[in-house]
Amino acid sequence: MNSRRDFLQKFSLGIGAATLVATAEPVSAAKTLIPDAPKADKQLRVALMGLGGYANIVARGMKECKTAKLVGIVTGTPSKIPEWKQKYGIEDKNIYNYENLNEIKNNPDIDLVYVITPNSLHHKHVLQVAAAGKHVISEKPVADNAKQAQEMIAACEKAGVKFYIGYRLHFEPHTREVVRMREAGEFGKIMHVNNYMGFKSGDPNQWRLKKALAGGGAMMDVGVYALNGARYCTGEEPIWVTAQESKTDPVKFKDVDETITFQLGFPSGIIANCGCTYNFNHSERLHVMGDKGWAELNPAFGYGPIRGITHKGPIEQPDVNHQAYQMDGIADAILNGKPDPNVTGAEGLKDMVVVDAVYESIKKNGAKIFINK
Give the contacts of 14 (CB within 8 A, at least 6 positions apart). none
Single out the catalytic residue among 140, 167, 350, 359.
140
Count of CB atoms within 10 A of residue 332's CB? 23
Q: Of these residues, 167, 225, 278, 303, which one is catalytic?
A: 225
Bridge partner list, 138:
115, 165
DSSP 293-322: -EEEESS-SSSS---EEETTEE-------H
Residue 140 a catalytic site member: yes
C-alpha of 310 from chain center: 24
Distance CA(229)–CA(301), nearest Å, equals 9
Q: Are 93 and 104 in contact (CB under 8 A)?
A: no
Instruction: For 265-291, give one letter per residue: b (16+ CB within 10 A) or e.
Output: bbeeebbbbbbbbbbeeebbbbbbbbe
Say whether 211 is catalytic: no
Question: How far is Cα 275 from Cα 254, in angstroms, rounded to an integer?
Answer: 19
- Supply the residues annotated as catalytic: 140, 225
